[in-house]
Amino acid sequence: MAIEGIIGKKVGMTQVFAEDGALIPVTVIQAGPCLVVQKKTTEKDGYDAVQVGLVEKVSSRRVTSAIRGHFEKAGLQPVRTLAEFAYSGEANVGDRVQVDMFKPGDSIDVVGRSKGKGFQGVVKRHHFRGGRESHGSMFHRAPGSIGASAFPSRVMKGMRMGGRMGNDQVTVKNLRVAKVDAENNLLYIRGAVPGGRNGLVLVRFAKNGKRG
């Protein structure tokens, strides 16, 4: 069984030493353990994939009858977080997906949700320069003109303006695995990944990346 990814939670950032003594900034991910909840096939669903669930305690009161039936069909306890991954070889419902599927040096993609910043203006959201800060200026952090008055007499679609910033799905590609702690289900990834502490992330093998 070779499933292409795993679900995890971001623990935080720290530093580790490489074999040559270099200090490497890493993000620590509590990756798995996960279980295969459903197997999808080309004949039945139109594509091949496995639905994977992150093993964590879930109150039975928070499970709807539809979700309960989905997990009873698989013969598993309900979980809160589900995701789909491609796979190769054999994969069956109930198979465990562990962090030891990764090795140091593997090239991976990490999918997460960026931190929400709320409503922000154009200077922070779109990196506008703004106007002069000198005395008498009335144009400091304003967006300026957003359209013509005569033609087309409307604000064009896609105009950069103030608005909600952050809380978007972000994929960081071709990161490298620095260390794997299989005993504690921890994955150490070089550099930063999207989201805040305890944020859910999907870690998957990069499509054309190196595998250790």
- For 14-156, where are the alpha helices, taking DSSP H only? 42-45, 65-74, 122-126
Angle, CA 88 vertex, CA 86 and CA 91 arms, to 5° = 85
- Interatomic CA distance for residues 130 and 141, integer angstroms: 5
Task: Give the per-residue pLDDT at 210.
Answer: 64
| The pLDDT value given to residue 90 | 82
Of 62 and 145, the one with more pLDDT: 145
> Residue 203 pairs with which residues in a beta bridge?
6, 110
d(CA 16, CA 12): 13
User: How far apart (Å, rounded) are the C-alpha atoms in residues 203 and 195?
Assistant: 13
The larger pLDDT score, comparing residue 141 to residue 208, is at 141
Burial 146-166 (b: 16+ CB within 10 A, else e): eeeeeeeeeeeeeeeebeebe
Confidence of residue 10 (pLDDT cuts 50, 70, 90): very high
Domain ranges, ordered by start, for the chain = 2-116+168-205, 117-165
Average pLDDT of the residues in 28-55? 91
Q: What percent of the chain has pLDDT over 70?
A: 98
Residue 192 · residue 27 · CB < 8 Å: yes
**205 band by pLDDT with thresholds 50, 70 and 90:** very high
pLDDT at position 75 is: 87
The pLDDT of residue 1? 52
Sequence-separated (6 or more) residues with CB below 8 Å from residue 175: 107, 108, 109, 110, 189, 190, 191, 193
Q: Is the pLDDT of residue 212 over 80?
A: no
What is the pTM (predicted TM-score) of this model?
0.84
Superfamily of the domain at 2-116+168-205: Translation factors (2.40.30.10)
Which 3-state string (H, E, C) describes 62-80? Answer: HCCHHHHHHHHHHCCCCCC
Model confidence at 169, in pLDDT bands (50, 70, 90)? very high
Is 80 exceeded by the pLDDT of residue 140? yes
Structure confidence by residue, pLDDT tens digits, 47-84: 989 999 998 877 777 788 888 898 888 888 888 899 99
CA pair distance 183, 106, nearest whole angstrom: 19
Longest dimension (CA), the chain: 72
Question: What CA–CA distance (Å, rounded) separates 90 from 123?
Answer: 51
7 CB-near residues (< 8 Å, 6+ apart): 31, 32, 34, 52, 53, 54, 81, 83, 200, 201, 202, 203
Mean of pLDDT over the chain:
91
81-116 pLDDT, tens per residue? 999 999 887 888 888 999 999 999 999 999 999 999
Q: Are 2 and 88 in contact (CB under 8 A)?
A: yes
